[in-house]
Amino acid sequence: MKAVQLHRYTEAPTVDEVAEPKIVGPWDVIVDVGAAGLCRTDLHIIEGQWDPIQHPSLPYILGHENAGWVREIGSAVSNVAVGDTVIMHPLTSCGLCPACRIGQDSHCENATFPGINVNGGMADQLLTNARAVVRLDAGLQPKDVAALADAGLTAYHAVRKAADQLFPGTHAVVIGAGGLGHIGIQALAAITSTEITVIDRSEKALELARELGAHHVVLSTSDDEVEKQVQDITGGGAHIVFDFVGERGAELLAPKLMRNRGSHYVIGYGGEVRLPTIEIISREINVIGNLVGTYNDLVELMALTADGRVKLHTAVYPLDAVNDAIADLEAGRLIGRGILVP
């Protein structure tokens, strides 16, 4: 089968012929990949940022946002059948460790992470397990939802965690209306009553943000001007700032946009959050990390998607054009998400 493989860090991946995966355990599921999302995390993987954390053996297949059709199942699998259309939770969790017992799949002690530390879904087929597959509504197609498996799930997870604090009269500020942020805006509009302000460097991204439910948009020019506009719009700062960028200075700007007792939800990454401890204490502010999301988060997100309340904005590429897609993502030419279709 064809697969996008990373052979060496800092070098472009290649499209290679590799062996098809095999069922080896009773809970295994093999999926014919219908679409795989391209994520900024893939850029960080190629740069080598994930090597100290996950230690994958090179070469291996990229792709951690995947959807498709069930091809083959192990002897114990009963929740899906051959031919079902499915989206995959990014991790293959065990179901037995303390984290799994309370539904925190992302923190499973025995998980693998296809596309991060084992072979992923930028290929004709993907090996996953029964605990990772979510059967899709008949109206949903893999290419329309694949990137929701990680980008959508991560954005929804952050909003879901904050939802009980975002009642009428509160203000949420979203930094970045791109691949992650444009999903977060829709989740905020769908499950909270908060007033939404979106910041981005791209006027096109801000146009999209308005269409998706943003009440206010701020074009990012200088940090001082952004801070002033946000303070004016929110009447003293956001209750919660969702930072979907997490680098290039966004992570330093975010705390300046909060009111006292506010929270900085870190979703994008790559930079460093720097806060004097006296500021954390005197303002009673919070910095909250967000890693992917739970299986139930993904089920809820698919329900919102089937209902038309969350929709991906995508650019579709054939699998062979993976490096064109990567170049477009790096150059900022993608509005929404890049999708690779085998």
What is the per-residue pLDDT across 166-224, written as a single tens digit (0 to 9) for each?
Answer: 999 999 999 999 888 999 999 999 999 999 999 999 999 999 999 999 999 999 999 99
- Do 162 and 113 fall within a single domain? no
- Do 91 and 201 fall within a single domain? no
- Do 164 and 219 fall within a single domain? yes
Please report which confidence band the pLDDT of residue 54 belongs to, taking 50, 70 and 90 as the band edges: confident
Above 80 in pLDDT, residue 63? yes
Enter the DSSP assignment of 41.
H
Please report which confidence band the pLDDT of residue 66 belongs to, taking 50, 70 and 90 as the band edges: very high
- CA separation for the pair 194, 57 (Å, rounded): 44
Helix H or strand E encompassing 316: strand 314-318
Give me the pLDDT at residue 270, please. Answer: 87
Which domain CATH number covers 186?
3.40.50.720
Least confident segment among 35-39, 52-56, 92-96, 286-290? 52-56
Distance of CA 277 to CAs 70, 252, 259, 280, Å?
A: 50, 15, 16, 5
Please report which confidence band the pLDDT of residue 228 belongs to, taking 50, 70 and 90 as the band edges: very high
Looking at residues 40-55, what average pLDDT do you find?
91
- Do 168 and 222 fall within a single domain? yes
Q: Which of 175, 212, 197 is nearest to 313 (CA)?
A: 212
Give me the pLDDT at residue 65, please. Answer: 96
- Do 92 and 210 fall within a single domain? no
Looking up tokens 């991906």 gives 312
Question: Exposed, middle or buried: residue 21 (CB in 10 Å: 0-12, 13-18, 19+)?
Answer: buried
Q: Name the average pLDDT for the chain.
A: 95
Give me the pLDDT at residue 105, please. Answer: 87
- CA separation for the pair 125, 148 (Å, rounded): 19
Give me the pLDDT at residue 299, please. Answer: 95
The proportion of the chain whose per-residue pLDDT surpasses 70, expressed as a percent, equals 100
- Do 220 and 264 fall within a single domain? yes
* Sheet of 216-219, strand order: 216-219, 195-200, 171-175, 238-243, 258-266, 286-289
Above 80 in pLDDT, residue 232? yes
Give me the pLDDT at residue 275, please. Answer: 94
Interacting residues of 245 by C-beta distance below 8 A, sequence separation 6+:
175, 176, 181, 251, 268
- Do 107 and 69 fall within a single domain? yes
Q: What is the pLDDT of residues 330-341, one digit of tens each?
A: 998 887 789 999
Question: Exposed, middle or buried: residue 203 (CB in 10 Å: 0-12, 13-18, 19+)?
Answer: exposed
Could you give the angle at the alpha carbon of 243 between the alpha carbons of 98 and 289, nearest 5°?
20
Residue 301's domain spans which residues? 2-150+292-341
Please report which confidence band the pLDDT of residue 107 belongs to, taking 50, 70 and 90 as the band edges: very high
Q: What is the pLDDT of residues 160-179, one digit of tens each?
A: 999 999 999 999 999 999 88
Structural domains counted in the chain = 2
pTM flag (> 0.75) = yes
Q: Which two tokens stand for residue 47?
A: 């740069």
Could you report how far apart the first and last alpha carbons of the chain are, in Å? Answer: 10
Q: Which two tokens stand for residue 70?
A: 């069930």
Among residues 289, 305, 329, the one where a domain terminates is 289
Above 80 in pLDDT, residue 71? yes
Among residues 289, 310, 333, the one where a domain terminates is 289
